């Protein structure tokens, strides 16, 4: 541990620390432009010069390029260093366009700060300034090249760190240019990070362009709700609208960056169509009045048909507080236990994950970055959880082998091996791969149960080519030292989650102690998984509604219509209810169908705790008080001139608040939740109640048990080894980076980037079905037409028809059957399609 002196203050730092970081630990901020800890040092800007007065290095040196060493004596205020830095900043400012007043970076601009810290205040250079043309970089990032100071941060992030090539550096000498070869949207789903890392205003946030200064924003630490990773953000609101999000560093989760879905997905909070008025049988009413009436009706129904005639549906986007409140309420009112997932498979997968994940197994994103072998099964990282791809790339940059086992034509910003297996083959393929690896590494450490389990695993998959690839990958796994299995939940069922845990445990007995990383269907799916314990799944609830066993349904921040396959059945079932009460902040179909509707508050207004896919409990603070965005109240002109209360400032209650009110009306009086939400359910969660007796740490609180109590390594394993019968296609409904997730698909810029929906089909299937690449598929389901273009690719597994959840497809697309015959695919092709001869359609 080197021991050095900086500005007469002593400090000891870990080996390998640069002097600039050592100084930062002392609270001395040495000016810098090009240096960024995650990107490393390049010494391009010369701004961090300090004087090395004694020790192994002498003289004026760049503090970002020199590693701390014993005996160093460094002065950051040496006159020579100060003069040097003053000149550097003056030179950097020679071509600066002096447009800070119209630059969105102004106010949080590193160049402004360093210009002031360098003491440069008057322009001496009288020559002409260099100018650059700007480019249209798409709907997310605004380009203004004149402001560039050539620090190379952007390309280093974009190309080296994130692995995309479409933005780079061009030109020579003083004409160095950072941009794309030609205008066009940036391809990287991490492009928004350019805004954060560029020290000047070359890249600025386009959706919030010219809307506010950073210093005017109400800012608070928030959590991204657009996938289960729970990346940390700082959200900024202005005049009651959330207008900008930035990444917040959390080394246990997202590191320094976030993806564009997380950065730009907040538009749903500002939506003009967002419901703000509570309704009682279609008529506007105050929310308290509506809730009071709901309580009265619930009491009536309970008296007439018993308490179990009332059911509750929460969601995986509920805050933990809301979920706990729901559970508490239904427990004490003796209603049915709450459900949180509409999709039964998601509910079972999440239950399996929550049961199996423990701290032996669990890996976080930073662990993945350190892995030397990554096996992703049932995951399309860029589309399911973008930041996962960025973490995997860091592993790849350090030399890790990466294998993806998935039916989809997965694309990733780094080299990897894609093993295409059909959806039904995934568990078997995974088993084969791991079995190969364990057998190769030897089973010396295994106990009898483990050996039996191993023996029961299938040794082959029917597909020869896949078998060969699995064998090779098994070899890599056997040779690795820090492997990790990444297991998705979006397409694969619960069997895969359980199997992955078993296999990881099996690997841990050998020389390759594998870790496990699950993805979950929603930002608080983990919480839902914990709290859904003992409840049956939504489809069974639907049956009960149809049979009349359930007469009232309370839906909190969920839209059963969003993806439920049988929309007609759902519609008629919900129509049978005596009371459908919905509480939500989205303009959802369920909200419109409700007898009693209460508008909700988003995470930006209410805050809340969320448990991410790794069992990390994190808190999102409220950003603003709520109310209708001022721009909507005043129609873009100045706000009404009146004394308080200003119009539109009425807030919607948070789900928690509304439920608490409802509970009080029902004469159930929960204790306040100030201390810990778990204190409401001490008997259910004794361990957590104890953990959460104190406020959460800012970087999250790990909730996983040390050892999972669930049964593991159950033999015999009965794994399906093939998909649907020949001639049939499994319909895979998949996520897209943009335009499919429930909340972020309201964001206009992300919709633009999502492009039109594409159906994907393997070449062989296309030939057999007689459809061609680029052809327009036109389904007619339930009287509604769904159109989407067909893309034929051989990078995917045969036997699947892949159709994205896409905002533009509308609700009819939900009703696609799980399996279609190839012949049916032809049948589904619209009659009026000019490409298809009449004869084929008829045959």
In angstroms, rounded to a whole number, what is the distance separating the alpha carbons of residues 809 and 784? 11
Strands 167-170 and 218-223 come out as unpaired
Nearer to ligand SF4, 391 or 428 (CB): 391
Short-list 114, 115, 178, 134, CA closest to 152: 178
Helix (H), strand (E) at residue 370: helix 365-370
Residue 59's SS3 state is strand
8 A C-beta contact, residue 204 and residue 147: no
Short-list 380, 248, 316, 207, CA closest to 805: 380
Beta-carbon count within 10 A of 6 CB: 23
Binding pattern to other proteins, positions 201-240, x when CB under 8 A?
--------xxxxx-xx----------------------x-
324 binds ligand FES (CB under 6 A): no
Instruction: Show contacts with other proteins in window 639-678 (CB under 8 A).
Output: 639, 641-643
Residue 43, binding choice from ligand FES, ligand SF4, other proteins, none, Cβ under 5 to 8 Å by partner class: ligand FES
173 binds other proteins (CB under 8 A): yes
Residue 32, binding choice from ligand FES, ligand SF4, other proteins, none, Cβ under 5 to 8 Å by partner class: ligand FES
Binding pattern to other proteins, positions 612-631, x when CB under 8 A?
------------------xx
Nearer to ligand FES, 80 or 784 (CB): 80
- CB pairs under 8 A, 24+ apart, for 703-707? 703/526, 703/611, 703/615, 703/616, 703/617, 704/357, 704/358, 704/359, 704/362, 704/614, 704/615, 705/358, 705/359, 706/358, 706/359, 706/360, 707/358, 707/360
Residues that bind ligand SF4 (CB under 6 A): 101, 148-154, 178, 198-200, 202, 224, 226-227, 229-231, 254, 258-259, 261-262, 385-387
Residue 179, binding choice from ligand FES, ligand SF4, other proteins, none, Cβ under 5 to 8 Å by partner class: other proteins
Nearer to other proteins, 634 or 722 (CB): 634
8 A C-beta contact, residue 190 and residue 390: yes
Instruction: Choose one: 175-183, 475-483, 674-682, 710-718; the region binding other proteins (CB under 8 A).
Output: 175-183
In angstroms, rounded to a whole number, what is the distance separating the alpha carbons of residues 250 and 39? 16
Nearer to ligand FES, 154 or 351 (CB): 154
Site size for ligand FES (CB under 6 A):
12
8 A C-beta contact, residue 242 and residue 624: yes
Instruction: Show contacts with ligand FES in window 55-114 (CB under 6 A).
Output: 62, 64
**Alpha carbon of 63 to those of 2, 8, 12, 43: distances in Å?**
15, 16, 16, 9
In angstroms, rounded to a whole number, what is the distance separating the alpha carbons of residues 552 and 175? 69
Instruction: Choose one: 544-552, 580-588, 635-643, 766-774; the region binding other proteins (CB under 8 A).
Output: 635-643
8 A C-beta contact, residue 15 and residue 1: yes
8 A C-beta contact, residue 529 and residue 539: no
Residue 191 dihedral angles phi and psi, to the nearest 5°: -65, -25
CB of 348 to ligand SF4, least distance (A): 23
CB of 142 to ligand SF4, least distance (A): 12
Nearer to ligand FES, 76 or 712 (CB): 76
8 A C-beta contact, residue 320 and residue 609: yes
Residue 100, binding choice from ligand SF4, ligand FES, other proteins, none, Cβ under 5 to 8 Å by partner class: other proteins
* Interface residue with ligand FES, options 22, 35, 265, 483 (CB under 6 A): 35
Instruction: Choose one: 19-27, 150-158, 618-626, 638-646; the region binding other proteins (CB under 8 A).
Output: 638-646
Nearer to ligand FES, 66 or 241 (CB): 66
CB of 20 to ligand FES, least distance (A): 7
In angstroms, rounded to a whole number, what is the distance separating the alpha carbons of residues 171 and 177? 6
CB of 386 to ligand SF4, least distance (A): 4
CB of 100 to other proteins, least distance (A): 7
In angstroms, rounded to a whole number, what is the distance separating the alpha carbons of residues 801 and 804? 10
Half-sphere exposure of 349 (CA within 13 A, CB side): 26
Residue 35, binding choice from other proteins, ligand SF4, ligand FES, none, Cβ under 5 to 8 Å by partner class: ligand FES
45 binds ligand FES (CB under 6 A): yes
CB of 115 to other proteins, least distance (A): 15
In angstroms, rounded to a whole number, what is the distance separating the alpha carbons of residues 514 and 830? 49
In angstroms, rounded to a whole number, what is the distance separating the alpha carbons of residues 18 and 434? 41
Residue 46, binding choice from ligand SF4, ligand FES, other proteins, none, Cβ under 5 to 8 Å by partner class: ligand FES
* Contact set with ligand FES (CB under 6 A): 32-35, 43-48, 62, 64
* Contact set with other proteins (CB under 8 A): 96-103, 106-107, 126-134, 144, 146, 170-173, 175, 177, 179, 209-213, 215-216, 239, 630-631, 634, 636-639, 641-643
């Amino acid at each position: 541990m080197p021991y050095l002196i900086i500005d007469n203050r002593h400090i000891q730092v870990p080996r390998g620390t640069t002097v600039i970081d050592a100084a930062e630990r002392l609270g001395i901020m040495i000016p810098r432009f090009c240096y960024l800890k995650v990107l490393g040092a390049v010494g391009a800007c010369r701004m961090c010069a300090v004087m090395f007065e004694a020790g192994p290095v002498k003289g004026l040196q760049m503090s970002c390029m020199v590693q701390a060493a014993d005996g160093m004596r460094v002065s950051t205020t040496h006159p020579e260093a100060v003069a040097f830095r003053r000149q550097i900043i003056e030179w950097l400012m020679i071509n600066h366009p002096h447009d800070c007043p119209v630059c969105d970076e102004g106010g949080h601009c590193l160049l402004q700060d360093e210009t002031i810290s360098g003491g440069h205040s008057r322009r001496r250079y009288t020559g002409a300034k260099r100018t650059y043309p700007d480019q249209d970089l798409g709907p997310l990032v605004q380009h203004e090249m004149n402001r560039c100071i050539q620090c190379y941060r952007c390309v280093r992030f974009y190309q080296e760190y994130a692995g995309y090539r479409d933005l780079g550096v061009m030109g020579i000498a003083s004409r160095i240019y950072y941009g794309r070869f030609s205008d066009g949207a940036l391809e990287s789903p991490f492009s928004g990070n350019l805004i954060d890392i560029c020290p000047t205003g070359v890249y600025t946030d386009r959706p919030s362009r010219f809307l506010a200064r950073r210093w005017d924003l109400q800012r608070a630490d928030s959590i991204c709700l657009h996938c289960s990773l729970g990346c940390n953000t700082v959200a900024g609101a202005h005049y009651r609208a959330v207008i900008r999000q930035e990444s917040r560093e959390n080394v246990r989760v997202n590191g320094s960056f976030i993806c564009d879905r997380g950065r730009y997905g907040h538009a749903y909070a500002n939506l003009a169509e967002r419901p703000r008025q509570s309704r009682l049988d279609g008529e506007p009413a105050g929310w308290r009045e509506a809730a009071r009436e709901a309580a009265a009706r619930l009491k009536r129904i309970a008296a007439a048909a018993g308490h179990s005639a009332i059911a509750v549906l929460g969601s995986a986007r509920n805050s933990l507080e809301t979920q706990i409140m729901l559970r508490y309420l239904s427990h004490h009112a003796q209603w049915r236990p709450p459900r949180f997932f509409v999709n039964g498979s998601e509910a079972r997968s999440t239950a399996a994950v929550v049961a199996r994940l423990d701290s032996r197994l669990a890996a976080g994103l930073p662990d993945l970055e350190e892995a030397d072998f990554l096996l992703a099964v049932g995951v399309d990282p860029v589309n399911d959880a973008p930041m996962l791809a960025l973490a995997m790339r860091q592993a790849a940059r350090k030399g890790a082998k990466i294998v993806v086992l998935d039916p989809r034509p997965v694309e990733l910003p780094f080299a990897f091996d894609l093993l295409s297996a059909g959806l039904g083959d995934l568990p078997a393929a995974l088993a084969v791969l791991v079995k190969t690896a364990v057998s190769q590494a030897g089973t010396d450490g295994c106990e009898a149960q483990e050996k039996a389990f191993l023996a029961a695993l299938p040794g082959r998959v029917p597909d020869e080519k896949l078998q060969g690839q699995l064998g090779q990958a098994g070899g890599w796994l056997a040779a690795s030292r820090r492997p990790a299995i990444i297991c998705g939940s979006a397409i694969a069922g619960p069997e895969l989650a359980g199997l992955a845990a078993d296999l990881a445990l099996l690997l841990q007995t050998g020389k390759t102690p594998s870790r496990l990383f699950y993805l979950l269907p929603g930002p608080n799916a983990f919480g839902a998984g914990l709290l859904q314990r003992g409840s049956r799944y939504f489809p069974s609830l639907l049956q009960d509604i149809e049979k009349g066993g359930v007469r009232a349904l309370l839906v909190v921040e969920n839209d059963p219509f969003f993806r439920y396959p049988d929309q007609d059945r759902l519609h008629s079932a919900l129509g049978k209810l005596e009371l459908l009460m919905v509480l939500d902040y989205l303009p959802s179909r369920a909200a419109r169908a409700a007898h009693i509707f209460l508008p909700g508050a988003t995470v930006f207004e209410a805050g809340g705790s969320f448990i991410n896919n790794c069992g990390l409990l994190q808190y999102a603070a409220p950003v603003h008080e709520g109310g209708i965005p001022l721009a909507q109240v005043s129609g873009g002109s100045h706000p009404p001139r009146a004394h308080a209360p200003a119009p539109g400032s009425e807030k919607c209650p948070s789900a928690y608040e509304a439920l608490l009110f409802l509970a009080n009306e029902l004469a159930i009086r929960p204790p306040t939740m100030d201390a810990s939400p778990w204190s409401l359910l001490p008997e259910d969660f004794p361990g957590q109640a104890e953990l959460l007796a104190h406020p959460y740490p800012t970087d999250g609180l790990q909730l996983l048990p040390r050892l999972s109590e669930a049964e593991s390594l159950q033999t015999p394993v009965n794994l399906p080894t093939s998909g649907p019968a020949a001639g049939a296609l499994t319909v895979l409904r998949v996520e897209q980076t943009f335009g499919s997730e429930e909340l972020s698909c309201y964001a206009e810029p992300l919709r633009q980037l999502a492009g039109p929906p594409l159906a994907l089909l393997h070449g062989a299937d296309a030939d057999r079905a007689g459809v061609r690449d680029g052809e327009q598929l036109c389904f007619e389901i339930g009287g509604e037409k769904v159109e989407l273009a067909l893309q034929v690719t051989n990078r995917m597994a045969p036997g699947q028809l892949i159709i994205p959840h896409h905002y533009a497809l509308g609700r009819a697309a939900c009703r696609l059957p799980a399996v279609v015959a190839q012949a049916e695919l032809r049948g589904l092709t619209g009659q009026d399609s000019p490409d298809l001869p009449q004869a084929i359609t008829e045959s």
